[in-house]
């Protein structure tokens, strides 16, 4: 493999001159530059991207930190970010934090060492002060935590109200909500939407809030425990993974969906179409969210102005078998 010294020797110039040509830094006359580039081509010389990153403090890479890659919602986001970044010849470094603040801090140091050109955050375990220490563009995706950073989210509050109202319209009156982590903004917004809709419908006294922590297994266990203690005829799960857990719990308890208990989730992941019965859901434009966040980050990296700082995308109620056949009261 040819080295920069081999190129310099073939072109009859110094190593410093070859470096200036590679990095477009400093003056090199046109004839000399041609000789250097001809030597690079003849030797099939490929410059070290690591060395160029160290020199330029840039790397054509971006970081993407997600909280739980096992949640089917996040791979779709990742795919969108990668698709857009590939168009602009950027590489995405994927970091899975497992919802752990310490792990996120470790990733921060790794990304700094790799001189990433920007970061997309879909987590909110870090403090604003910790994020402020990064001297790179940042875009917040799905979980906003500071108004100063560009963000891409959906209307979680309205989506939760849509889901709760749909269960009511299907005849449900004892509607439970499986809640996500209280430290996650979108989980709080979805709970607030459920709460306000239940109050407006006049059935808040029949509420039941179940902690599912956005986890399928935890939601399943919590729903089974709840069913052993009280009657429920509708479940609004704060994400689709928990809705699948609820479905398993209801079926294991010998109850029918939707005849005995109607279930609706939130996200719109493909898994909801693979269950029996298929699950109703509030669908987020997941791919669009990731793509918009990536384009915002590219504009920031290139120093271009942003049309908007914050994007809130609409959601859509998708009615499937888990709520559609229930007889209305």
* pLDDT tens digit at each of 329 positions of the chain: 788 899 999 999 999 998 888 876 778 888 998 999 999 999 998 876 555 555 555 679 999 999 999 999 999 999 999 999 999 999 999 999 999 989 999 998 899 888 899 999 999 888 888 888 888 999 999 998 888 999 999 999 999 999 999 999 999 999 999 999 999 999 999 999 999 999 999 999 999 999 999 999 999 999 999 999 999 999 999 999 999 999 999 999 999 999 999 999 999 999 999 999 999 999 999 999 999 999 999 999 999 999 999 999 999 999 999 998 644 44
The pTM (predicted TM-score) of the whole model is 0.83
Architecture of the structural domain at 154-283+315-321: 3-Layer(aba) Sandwich (3.40)
Phi, psi of 140 (to 5 degrees): -100, 130
pLDDT for 55 equals 54
CATH number of 59-152+284-313: 3.40.50.2300
pLDDT for 329 equals 41
pLDDT for 155 equals 98
And the tokens for 147?
A: 């108004």
Contact 222, 237 (CB under 8 A): no
Q: What is the DSSP letter of 97?
A: -
**Contacts for 253-256: CB closer than 8 Å, 24+ residues apart:** 253/224, 253/227, 253/228, 255/227
Give the C-alpha distances (Å, rounded to integers) separating 163 from 28, 157, 283. Answer: 65, 10, 10
CATH number of 2-46: 1.10.260.40
- Count the neighbouring beta carbons within 10 Å of the beta carbon of residue 172: 27
- Count the neighbouring beta carbons within 10 Å of the beta carbon of residue 175: 28
pLDDT for 328 equals 46
Residues of the chain with CATH 1.10.260.40: 2-46
Helix residue spans in 253-305 (DSSP H):
286-301
């Amino acid at each position: 493999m040819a080295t920069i010294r081999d190129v310099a020797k073939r072109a009859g110039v110094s190593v410093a001159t070859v470096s200036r040509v590679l990095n477009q830094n400093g003056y090199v006359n046109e004839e000399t530059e041609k000789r250097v580039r001809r030597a690079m081509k003849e030797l099939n010389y490929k410059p070290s991207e690591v060395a160029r990153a160290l020199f330029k403090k840039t790397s054509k890479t971006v970081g993407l930190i997600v909280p739980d890659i096992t949640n089917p919602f996040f791979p779709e986001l990742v795919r969108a970010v990668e698709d857009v970044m590939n168009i602009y010849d950027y590489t995405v470094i994927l970091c899975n934090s497992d919802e752990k603040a310490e792990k996120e801090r470790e990733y921060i140091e790794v990304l700094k060492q790799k001189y990433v050109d920007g970061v997309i955050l879909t987590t909110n375990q870090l403090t604003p002060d910790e994020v402020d220490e990064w001297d790179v563009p940042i875009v917040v995706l799905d979980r906003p935590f500071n108004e100063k950073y560009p963000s891409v989210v959906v209307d979680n509050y309205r989506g939760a109200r849509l889901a709760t109202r749909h269960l009511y319209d299907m005849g449900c009156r004892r509607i439970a909500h499986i809640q996500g982590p209280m430290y996650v903004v979108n989980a709080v917004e979805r709970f607030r939407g459920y709460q306000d809709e239940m109050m407006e419908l006049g059935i808040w006294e029949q509420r039941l809030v179940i902690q599912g922590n956005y986890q399928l297994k935890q939601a399943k266990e919590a729903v089974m425990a709840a069913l052993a203690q009280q009657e429920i005829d509708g479940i609004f799960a704060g994400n689709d993974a928990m809705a699948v857990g609820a479905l398993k719990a209801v079926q294991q308890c010998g109850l029918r969906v939707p005849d005995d208990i109607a279930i609706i989730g939130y996200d719109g992941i493909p898994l909801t179409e693979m269950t029996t019965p298929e699950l109703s859901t509030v669908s987020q434009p997941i791919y669009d969210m990731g793509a918009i966040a990536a384009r915002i980050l590219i504009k920031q990296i290139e120093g271009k102005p942003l049309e908007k700082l914050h994007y809130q995308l609409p959601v859509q109620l998708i009615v499937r078998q888990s709520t559609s056949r229930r007889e209305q009261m």
